[in-house]
Chains A and B, each alone.
Chain A
Amino acid sequence: MKRRLWFWQLSLLVALFAVWQLLSQPELIPPIVWDNPHRAAFFFGEPVKMFRVIWEWFVGGAIYEHLWVTLQETALAFVIGSVLGLAVGLWLGLTPTASALLDPYITAMNAMPRVVLAPIFMVWFGLGIWSKVALGVTLVFFIVFFNVYQGVKEVSPVVLNNALMLGANRRQLLRYVYLPSATSWVFSSLHTAVGMAFVGAVVGEYLGSARGVGYLIQQAEGAFDINTVFAGMIVLTVFALVLDFAVGRVERRLLVWRPAQSETEQL
């Protein structure tokens, strides 16, 4: 069943690209939209050429350096953003006065479109990877923060009282009850957080950098090379899928204690 689904999913993709390729052929679309028969290919690119670009990137090895930079930025943004979000989420979740004081600021900062910070980060951290990491961190932080904050407030009071009755002091409550409980919330936001770290990295690269997949796309766009722009997009998409898959694997390993929805094994 699963095999068959895979097959159809793949076929759909191939069919989409085939139709795309076909429609981009000169004069296939009647010349009512464009007077120049090559315009379709100019605006929308040709899949065959895109894959040739990708092929050259990977065989020639030019892409690896850029992918590596993007991966580094994503990973750093994710780790730093998550740790900060976890720490601040725990702190505010456990101190009602501080959370009451800071509540409007957090709401305001979350509502602000973070992308406008990119130019400031460029000035502060330069054109290297750190300005992109900073942008990713601002995106990841809020996702993790809100999840942990909510998680801390929703720790089961029975589990909490139970730990108290078993003799846990305040520090032990934090370490053995709040932290594991909050971590599970971090993991439930893992997919979104990694995605956001990735968005931060690519947008940062696009706005100003010397390396990274976002930089490749920006360069190609400047040269009106639509096929390379699409090639970059395809590489990014596949990269995001691989990242998401890896996150799913990590999640399954770390959250073994969580009941899966369709699980029936009980002994």
Chain B
Amino acid sequence: MLPLPWERAGERVIAIAVEFDHITCSFTGRGGAASYTAVKDVSLEIGAGEFVSVVGPTGCGKSTLLIVAAGLLKPSSGTLRVLGEPLAGINRQAGYMFQTEALMPWRSALANVTAGLEFRGVSPEEARSRGEQWLERVGLAGFGDRFPHHLSGGMRKRTAVAQRLILDPPILLMDEPFSALDIQTRQLMENELLDLWNADRKSVIFITHDLEEAISLSDRVVVLSAGPAARPIGEFEIDLPRPRDVSEIRHSPRFVELHDKIWHSMKEEVLKGYAQTRNRVSA
């Protein structure tokens, strides 16, 4: 395992992993349509080794923030800093978990997991052995030669997780990675994610619309306002003890308390977002 970039000899030398500095993203409308501002003037800091969830009503620009952090989208204005450096091009420090299927369908599970190593010029033998180790870690030992369409949704997600973590990125960007899974598989995956995260404490930005998921996983929950021009309207420290079991922690009194508090601040925005979506549909 690579040493985390914010540590020197066990000491934390960089406090902030990802910093959004007054980020605004506007999209020019097609064919003379008015431009659309997805997020406006967002300033947000993700600490080194911190697990932060971003929640907000649908269509509020959560994913926009994440693709900016990945370097796949250049913000209209503002700066994104990764480990203190302004980001230019693709964020090489980050692994990105997509919401939809992102595996290469023509590659077996193993070849998908080792793709990143291959891109980096790691020898095939080493890539193979590390790939098999990772498949085992995500519970897919023996499934390496299967193609994605032969795997269930949960197994494809596990493959995607291994595909990312094999590269050992210090920052993980996750865009509703488990939203397509059924509730049982989802809780299993959440627990496994927490275990993996606990092992080496990467920085995680986790996008979700599910408040319970956000609270049970994170150190901090950031609430975004309804779009357009979404911005953070609240931040909540989650002081629940770790290690956590996501299916049990939901019943603890402190969880319920936090949930009420955050939901209260969100509710208005959710209703606003809902009204806007409805207007957009009826217009």
Whether A165 contacts B100 in the complex (CB less than 8 A), given A257-B107, A257-B147, A267-B150, comes out as no
**Is there contact, CB below 8 Å, between A184 and B95?**
no
In the assembled complex, the Cα of A184 lies from the Cα of B14 at a distance in Å of: 47
State the Cβ distance, A95 to closest chain B Cβ, in Å.
21
Q: Is A238 an interface residue (CB 8 A)?
A: no
Interface residues on B, range: 35 or more
**Is there contact, CB below 8 Å, between B106 and A158?**
no
Q: From residue 18 to 69 of chain B, which have CB atoms closer than 8 A to chain A?
A: none
Q: Is A112 an interface residue (CB 8 A)?
A: no
In the assembled complex, the Cα of A166 lies from the Cα of B168 at a distance in Å of: 11
State the Cβ distance, B239 to closest chain A Cβ, in Å.
32
**Is there contact, CB below 8 Å, between A163 and B152?**
no
- The answer, among A159, A257, A267, for a CB contact under 8 Å with B152, is A267
Interface string of A73-101 (1 = CB under 8 A from B): 00000000000000000000000000000
State the Cβ distance, B160 to closest chain A Cβ, in Å.
8
Interface string of B88-100 (1 = CB under 8 A from A): 0011101110101
State the Cβ distance, A8 to closest chain B Cβ, in Å.
34
In the assembled complex, the Cα of A246 lies from the Cα of B70 at a distance in Å of: 46
Please name all residues of chain B whose beta carbon is closer than 8 Å to the beta carbon of A256 when the two chains form the complex.
147
**Is there contact, CB below 8 Å, between B102 and A159?**
yes
Q: Which residue, B106, B146, B147, B155, has most C-beta atoms of chain A within 10 A?
A: B106
Q: Is A21 an interface residue (CB 8 A)?
A: no
Please name all residues of chain B whose beta carbon is closer than 8 Å to the beta carbon of A263 when the two chains form the complex.
149
- Residue of chain B at shortest CB distance from A158: B102
Whether A257 contacts B94 in the complex (CB less than 8 A), given A165-B72, A266-B152, comes out as no
- Residue of chain A at shortest CB distance from B169: A165
- Residue of chain A at shortest CB distance from B91: A165
State the Cβ distance, B92 to closest chain A Cβ, in Å.
7
State the Cβ distance, B263 to closest chain A Cβ, in Å.
31
- The answer, among B94, B102, B116, for a CB contact under 8 Å with A161, is B102
Please name all residues of chain B whose beta carbon is closer than 8 Å to the beta carbon of A3 when the two chains form the complex.
none
Q: Which residue, A159, A166, A167, A266, has most C-beta atoms of chain B within 10 A?
A: A166
Interface string of A27-64 (1 = CB under 8 A from B): 00000000000000000000000000000000000000
Please name all residues of chain B whose beta carbon is closer than 8 Å to the beta carbon of A176 when the two chains form the complex.
104, 115, 118-119
Binding site for A on B (CB under 8 A): 70, 72, 90-92, 94-96, 98, 100-108, 115-116, 118-120, 143, 146-152, 155, 163-164, 167
Binding site for B on A (CB under 8 A): 156, 158-159, 161-169, 172, 176-177, 180-181, 184, 256-259, 263, 265-267
